[in-house]
Amino acid sequence: MNECITLRQAQVNQKLRICSVGAQGELGRRIRDMGLMPGTEVTVVGKAPLKDPVALRLRDFTLTLRNSEADHIVVELLGE
């Protein structure tokens, strides 16, 4: 199994697979509504100069998340 990290710790251009979403309640529902569910593959396409927010590419769109939201998402690194 590959190393698991939080989405905040991921570097630009890393390909990842979501392992789990730890957020509960309204935040958890909102994250899942955005398409961030276990098994989904994402790529980090950018980070703001102060590292917040983080931009992700998944399916056919780009999504940005605050670090406080990204902390709830555990991902595994995928090979190139």
Task: With beta carbons less than 8 A apart as the criterion, state whether 16 and 45 touch.
Answer: no
This prediction's pTM: 0.86
How does residue 1 score in pLDDT terms, banded at 50, 70 and 90?
A: low
* Model pLDDT, residue 75: 95
Residue with tokens 């917040």: 52
Residues 26-69: tens digit of each pLDDT: 999 998 998 899 999 999 999 988 878 999 999 889 999 999 99
How does residue 76 score in pLDDT terms, banded at 50, 70 and 90?
A: very high
Token digits of residue 68: 């406080």
